[in-house]
Structure 1
Amino acid sequence: MELLSPAGNLETAIAAFDGGADAVYCGLGKFNARERAENFSKETLGKLLNFAKENGRKVYITLNTLIWESELSELFEQLLILDKMNPDALIVQDPGVCEIVRKYFPQMTLHASTQMGIHNSAGVAVAEKLGFKRVILERQISLDELRQIAKNSTLELEVFLHGSLCCSLSGRCLLSHHLYGESGNRGKCKQPCRRAFEQGKMKNMRILSPADLAGSSLLSELDKLNIASLKIEGRLRTPDYIWKTARAYRILLDNPDDPEAAVEAENIFRTVPGRKKSTGFYFKSSWKSLIDPSAGGSFGECCAKVNKVIRSGMLVKVATSLHLGDRLRVMPAAGGEGESFSLAAMENHNRTGIIRARSGETVFIKGNFRAAPGYEIRRIGENGFDFSRRAAALPDFRQEFALKITAFPTLWQAEIPGSNAVWQESTDFAPAEKRPLTEEQIKKVFSENPPAGFRPGKIEVCINGNFFVPAATLKSLRRNYREFFTPVLGSMDFFPEHPVKMEKFYAENQIFPDLPPEILPQNIFTIPDFIPENELDNIRKEIKNAYANGVRNFSAGHWHAFELLKNLPQVKIFTRYPFHISNSFAVKLAGVLGASCVAATPECDENNRILLQKKSPLPFFEDKRAVPLLVSRIPLAKGKWELDGKKFKITETEKLSVLHSHDPFEVPR
């Protein structure tokens, strides 16, 4: 099983690989679900990709947010850049991104983001038909359900193993957007689920804040299911967190039956900051205990509290310890985002600089902080895990090229596909008595010291004959080939198809059908948005009976709906939230799947919706439902609640907890 770690920047990526991760997932500055992370520039991503390929590791790029119609050109330009860099896969949420990649970049590998919310084999089947190689499953499925999905699916499956849990089903949380105008589906979640709610006299109730997932006890079971990848959550985490979690799981994966290894891993886990640990959603019996409303919902260890704030800093009383280099966050005791900083200096009561402070001491921390007396200081990272120098020392991106080498005793020849140039050199090698030349020898030597700015990818070798080549001579041949191809590579256009793709895309993106809207029919069968694996057959029967009784209109709010309707002729499918339609290419993909009419995602603003409807190849319909802000399989505390002066109500519908606003969040019309 692949061990997949998060990487919020180049330093944490190196920490992950150093700890033992097989792969990392990361994002550029835009269009990824963790825009609050530092993320990667084109330059730092290039460095990471070089490092990974040269060390047998993988890098997956997150493009897992919803894309507005007005952003499609910017998205396409980002895809052109990624195409040149050749990452191992793209992780996507938006149906429109999927359609653009399928149409213009079919050579790129696609992974279905957990934000797509796929939670049953019918959804996996749709992903497979669309060309996805892997599905990252919804977090909120049990181990028994996972067994059945794995049994009924052929695609690679990826599951979450460790880290923070979302209260909501993936892709179905509108709470951050409702409260702050910052959408989790757009990578800007403000984490209101970690805040303290109120209900009458009950204060500081963290009713939406689940415990963290710690899945070390599940490794043997997951291995039996042939799960492709085990995912650690945490692109906002520090290098020490990333290294420690990767290291602990690497130890367990490499030594599955070793008690001493288990103890070593557990000792590492004890030093990893986090909330209360759990097995997440893997066991239904523990779902009720996933949330303790009276427990703190903040990440990390509370190591100090603010006594006083002055213009130049704050006086804090240490609860456990503080050490220079610690990564800290100062935040309200009631919860919230807080402000993160690295502890660069602190002073004791004599205003003398100190390196370490112990429990009970009062120290001064200099700086301009948004804090007040009673605020908590939480340790979210430790010193001693500095990978910045190694990250800074990585070479710049080198363009990959293919190489074909043909070797005869009397002639050597090298070609680079896409170039008309051919390097040849006459030779005179004698038949081998003991050690004939091998393909591996040629590949190894010709991989070393490539022309500046380039590196060989696939090397194809054809040896004609059985002859011996001294090591020094082989290196001399490499030097001559390198000298010949250096100017050739510098003048090559590795992506001559890109201008053609751009022209075709921009032409397609300027089509404005401007179709009139349709009205949602009265006689329509609504396919449930959440269908556990063991309920698929029952829903199939209900759909079959409805069809037999003359129903031809079906409402589809999730990927699995298209699989359940695939064999029914002459049906009309109306897509609606939570099947997200935020751009015209998403509409095109819906059409590929069989949709006849669509509705915009709830977070789509007025300007984008107007543009989207004009460019949509399918008509829109008015969906006037009041949509929930959050849906969860956790049995949440029912009733009326308040947060930041706004009122909410939690109810239960079809075994799901549903959070509604007192002021309905309506689907835009």
Structure 2
Amino acid sequence: GADLHWGQSWELAPAQKTAATLDQISGEFSRGDQSAFAAGSIEVSLEPGLFLPGSVLKQVRRAFFEWLDTTLTQEDYVFHFHSRLEAIWEEWSRIIPEPDDSVRETIRCAWGQRQQHSGARLAVQLFEPAEPSDEIILPDFVAETQLDGVADRIRELIDRGHRRFRVTAWHAFTLLRDYSELELTAAFPLPVANSSALEQLMELGVGRAMAWVELEVEAIEAMLRRCPGRLEQYLYGRLPLLTTRADLKQGGLVADLRDNRFEIIPDAELTTLYHEGVYTSPPIPGLSSFRDLQIAETAQGQRTLPRGNHTLA
């Protein structure tokens, strides 16, 4: 682990045409010859206007690497290797949150029903009343003219002690990037259908992500094997089939020619189309879960429609 020093002297004449350059010297030493070692970061200090023959530079480079091969012991580079591993692991741990192996339940419900779910983590929309322990669901659609208002609300919540956020779209990572020690969960409608997507989200600070709701059980279990402790499952609720800014001039129940019934629910900004029934999915061992009771409680019908591993009730 000690610093090593090597030196060699030779006389250089003033250059008549082409003077030696920093790139010439660093490029030569980056070759490494047949040595077991290779140059990392190279810093060159050079007096300008000197001529350095290429043959001399090659001799210097070979002499240096021969000296390395005969001077450094196995203990020296094993120590260096371990030091590099520790540095890489420290950097990785700083960027990627530790997996939480505990299986947790998150529920979205009406404010008046919070006491009925005291054992679960509760999730609320960004502009709804919230306790510091709640998870804040960030909006998936934010127009440019709405960004400042959303950013101000996030700052207000963090100043009040909130640290848990549910990310539903990519813009949220920019809005949250200046804050530390946050607990982030990626969720519908942000698509997480494979481990590559999950790993990308982990690099952005996500500790857990909701598996895409249309995945088969086999696909979710395959993701779970590659990323244990990182997945969440949508168990119960009403999933939006369509969200639009268009003014549909109609709300409530509608039906198609096959008597499939849907509900149109408008709000101040968006209009959302839901199936009349409630989406349910059988729980998978080892996965955390999310249930949206607030939207499900407005369901009008009780029809069962099989969807592979899922059911619309």
Larger Rg: 2
TM class by shorter chain equals 0.3 to 0.5
User: Normalising by structure 2, what TM-score?
Assistant: 0.47
